[in-house]
Chain A
Amino acid sequence: MKLLLLVLLLAIISYIYFFRTLKKDLYFMNSIQKSTEHMDGSVDIEKYIICIEKSMIIDDFYFYKDVVKIMPKNIPYELISFDFSKEDDANFNLIDKLKLKNIPSIHFVDEQKKSKEIFNFNDLEDSLNSREVLKIIKGVLYNNESQGNLK
């Protein structure tokens, strides 16, 4: 009986944990902008843009969540997903505007709204695990900051 009560207690704690985790995941998913609905802020500020493909989000969801966690806190970022299953001019307009060559990638947009690719996920070796990739991204972001791209 004691064992059953212990299992039940564990179940309650587990349920609360999963409910909260899922709620946070859904909130994160809703924060991803669609390329077709991308709103360009009127204020000219430096920012990072993480471009991803919609079809890859489900498989790599927790990886992108980790990428967002390591983004610098002092600079805003946008996460944009591109859906290439439908032909939409808005997709190509945004690709032109941001001068995107690779997806998924991380771009840095300066105050003059000039975009520069700082990290291309396709350049990574397949043998790297997510922890190693995150370490590389951290280094790239740090270099971007120290090279004086940022004010």
Chain B
Amino acid sequence: MKLIIIFKIILGIIFLKSSFNKLKKPYQFYKAIEDYKFIHNKFLLYIVPLLIVIEQVLSLCLILPVNPLAFLILGIILQSFYVFLLLLNIGKNFKNNCQCFSLNAPGMVTTKNISINIALLISIILTYGWLLRLENG
């Protein structure tokens, strides 16, 4: 039980660190997402803050002992979005990117970035499954 809680907290710290970067530079994150040309400019102003907040809440849900279903849902939504976004832009180089969001919005999208995001998604699902199994005895 202790091991899974430590793993869950480490996951939370990874997301917290990533969200802190976006928290400090919301405009640069906006430009990075805009550069991917996936979301229409009209909606960017509403979606970019939402992405930052979802990441913040996800990290808090992983660190604090809240209902595991909360981090499962948020994690699947967030990581699926980034995996899909990066898959669409694989191999492309973006000039309006400050290179400060290497986890979710890198300036040069490589298979390594996608793999890391998929690994995070799988980790969230596994953590949920593991917690559920332990709770059910």
Interface residues of A (CB under 8 A from B): 1, 3-4, 7-8, 10-11, 14-15, 18-19, 21-23, 25-26, 29, 58-59, 61-62
Q: Can you report 21 residue pairs joining A to B where beta carbons are below 8 Å apart?
A: A1-B67, A3-B65, A4-B66, A4-B67, A7-B57, A7-B64, A10-B60, A11-B56, A15-B50, A18-B49, A18-B52, A18-B53, A19-B45, A19-B49, A22-B26, A22-B45, A23-B45, A26-B27, A26-B30, A29-B27, A61-B28
Q: Is the CB of B27 within 8 A of A3?
A: no
Summarize A's interface: helix, strand, loop or mixed. helix
Q: How far is the CA of A57 from the CA of B96 in the complex (A)?
A: 10
Q: Who on chain A is nearest to B46 by CB?
A: A19
A40–B23 CA distance with the chains assembled, in angstroms: 37
- For chain B, what secondary structure do more than half of its interface residues adopt (helix, strand, loop), or is it mixed? helix
Closest partner residue, chain B, to A28 (CB atom): B27
Give B69's nearest chain A residue, CB to CB. A4
**Chain B contact patch, size range:** 20 to 34
Q: Which residues of chain A come closer than 8 Å to B45, judged between CB atoms?
A: 19, 22-23, 26
Q: Verify B61–A7 contact, CB threshold 8 A.
A: yes
With A11-B56, A22-B48 as contacts: A59 and B27 at CB distance below 8 Å: no
- Rounded to whole angstroms, the CA-CA distance of A59 and B27 in the bound complex is 10
Q: How far is the CB of B41 from chain A (nearest CB, A)?
A: 10
Residue of B nearest to A23 (CB): B45
- Which B residues are within 8 Å of any A CB, using their own CB? 25-28, 30-31, 45-46, 48-50, 52-53, 56-57, 60-61, 64-67, 70, 96-98
CB distance from B110 to the nearest CB of A (A): 21
Residues of A within 8 A of B28 (CB): 58-59, 61
The docked-state distance in angstroms from the alpha carbon of A62 to that of B61 is 30
Flag if B64 contacts A3 (CB, 8 Å). Answer: yes
In the bound complex, CA of A29 to CA of B60 (Å): 32
Q: With A4-B70, A7-B61, A7-B64 in contact, do A15 and B49 touch (Cβ < 8 Å)? A: yes
In the complex, chain A residues whose CB is within 8 Å of the CB of B48:
18, 22
A10-B66 Cα distance, complex, nearest whole Å: 14
Pairwise interchain contact B26-A58, C-beta atoms closer than 8 A: no
